[in-house]
Amino acid sequence: MMSTTPIVTEMQVIPVAGYDSMLMTLSGAHAPWFTRNIVIIKDNAGHTGIGEIHGGDYTCDALTSVIPLVVGQPIGKYRAILDSIHRASRKSDEDDGEGIQTLDISKLKFVVKAEWAIECALLDLLGQYLGLQMCELLGNGKQRDKVETLGYLFYVSDKEKAQDLPYIDESQSSDPWFRMRRREMLTPEQIVEQAQCLHEKYGFRNFKLKGGVLRGEEEMEAVRALKKAFPNGRINIDPNGAWSLQEAIELCKPMEDVLTYIEDPTGPEAGYSSREVMAEFKNAVKLPVATNMIATDWRQFYHAAALKSVDIVLADPHFWGFDGTIRMAQLLNDWGLTWGSHSNNHFDITLAAFAQVGAAAPGHPTALDTHWIWQDGQNLLKDAPQIVDGYLELSDKPGLGVTIDMDRVMEANRLYNSLSSHDRDDAMAMQYLIPNWKYDSKKPCLVR
């Protein structure tokens, strides 16, 4: 009789929510909460596999609808399971194919692929069955034991100006970073203080500032102040395509000796796509260019590569899948380019997944993004990975290497169910700062 890997006996999809700060981006201000979807898959060997993906009812419904395609299948056929999901899915009528070239948050759900949470859970189960870390099942296997991460810096608005919104208050915390992350930080001095606090807590040496908030000149002042405070650090900024081509060139050319790379400096304009415009930027400015906006699938990447628009592709496994992001890392390494991973608000299940993906990526990846520092303490795991000395530590246990805490998951599910809306809305809090504020992909959020 042919032997087989364990069989999936159960799949659950649990939508969850956590608390956030009033972080500023081109899209506006983060709401007091963020949402995610947790996938839990069990097999007949007694193992439990887990995955985490972006939130919202659209993604939750998509995951729930494919449960019949997963239950009853051998975990070793995880590629065939994913293929069956892809063949059964269809493009949403709302999906115009533009992706997130202009950072339209309403379109993010079409870029994120819900099934990658299933892939993560199945790989977790397969690793447990084989007695191997998940990273050993990806690409060429484990390349490193720990993964370098960067300090992800944000401008933060004053939550007291949005008194009707229930932003979390950590002013009484004994942790200096936990106290700091919930208060206003809008000046270069405050951004440097933020970086110093993160350096002390997590050991970060490299930093990325989320731009697209203030005038470009003001944001570059903060970048220069960061470089002065951390002269040996790699300093980057991500305005999410907020600047025009001319503005991006004028802002970045004097920063060639300050910035390590520039992420998505400009977006589509004058009838040209972001890929074409960023190719022109690269002709004018001697800085490596990174993206998580203009190469979010293989077809987009083909055009970005053909135009030589980017040097660093931040291939988030939530966009690319675990197999896809490592395939991208292998290709970039072979071509002499650089791989990294973008991040969104997430719980520690995603942090564990980032550790596995980062451990399997070949070559010399750039330090990975993670929002975890802004959510740290809201654990859904009993053994959340730690960031020590600027490196995300990899569990030596098989599979994903972590244990879910169902009490915490159900607490986060209760918060989710208490919310009136589960979709991301960065415009809501902005109304307290600028009445009648509307998103504009070419205007930093506080420039109106």
What are the pLDDT digits (tens) for 323-379? 999 999 999 999 999 999 999 999 999 999 999 999 999 999 999 999 999 999 999
Query: Of all residues in the chain, what percent carry a pLDDT higher than 70?
Result: 94
418 with 176: CB under 8 angstroms?
no
13 with 65: CB under 8 angstroms?
no
Query: Would you state the pLDDT for residue 103?
Result: 56
Average pLDDT over residues 421-435: 95
From residue 342, alpha-carbon distances to 68, 389, 434 in Å are 31, 20, 29
Residue 109 in this model has a pLDDT that exceeds 60 = no
Confidence of residue 190 (pLDDT cuts 50, 70, 90): very high
Give domain limits for the chain: 8-136+407-417, 140-400
Alpha carbons 123 and 400: distance in angstroms, whole number: 8
Find the catalytic residue in 54, 113, 210, 318. 210
Alpha carbons 264 and 242: distance in angstroms, whole number: 8
Q: How many residues does this entry show for the chain?
A: 448
Residue 220 token pair: 């570059």
Confidence of residue 88 (pLDDT cuts 50, 70, 90): confident
Query: Would you state the pLDDT for residue 89?
Result: 73
Angle of the 78-88 helix axis to the 115-130 helix axis, nearest 10: 170
Q: Which helix (H) or strand (E) holds 65?
A: helix 57-65
Confidence of residue 95 (pLDDT cuts 50, 70, 90): low
349 with 129: CB under 8 angstroms?
no
The alpha carbon of 429 is separated from its chain's Cα centroid by a whole number of angstroms, namely: 21
Average pLDDT over residues 211-230: 98
Q: Side by side, which strands form the sheet with 8-19?
A: 8-19, 33-43, 48-54
Alpha carbons 288 and 203: distance in angstroms, whole number: 25
How much is the mean pLDDT over the chain? 94
- 166-179: per-residue pLDDT in tens? 999 999 999 999 99
Query: Would you state the pLDDT for residue 286?
Result: 97
Residue 152 in this model has a pLDDT that exceeds 90 = yes
- 18-38: per-residue pLDDT in tens? 999 999 999 999 999 999 999
Residue 309 token pair: 């628009």
Average pLDDT over residues 100-129: 78
Average pLDDT over residues 170-196: 97
Q: Which helix (H) or strand (E) holds 281?
A: helix 274-284
Confidence of residue 1 (pLDDT cuts 50, 70, 90): very low
- Nearest alpha-carbon partner for 251 in 228, 272, 223: 223
- Considering the domain delimited by 8-136+407-417, tell me its CATH architecture: 2-Layer Sandwich (3.30)
87 or 165: which carries more pLDDT confidence?
A: 165
Residue 366 token pair: 């750039």
Alpha carbons 36 and 416: distance in angstroms, whole number: 9
Residue 107 in this model has a pLDDT that exceeds 70 = no
Residue 254 in this model has a pLDDT that exceeds 80 = yes
Q: Which residues 6+ apart lie within 8 Å of 108 measured at CB?
A: 54, 100, 424
Collapsing DSSP to helix, strand or coil, 388 comes out as strand
From residue 276, alpha-carbon distances to 113, 248, 296, 298, 300 in Å are 26, 14, 15, 17, 12
Average pLDDT over residues 232-244: 97
Residue 2 in this model has a pLDDT that exceeds 90 = no
Find the catalytic residue in 42, 342, 346, 371. 342
Confidence of residue 98 (pLDDT cuts 50, 70, 90): low
Locate tokens 């959340």: which residue? 384
Q: Is 210 a catalytic residue?
A: yes
To the question of domain 140-400 being in CATH 1.20.1250.20, the answer is: no
Alpha carbons 244 and 237: distance in angstroms, whole number: 15
Residue 100 in this model has a pLDDT that exceeds 90 = no
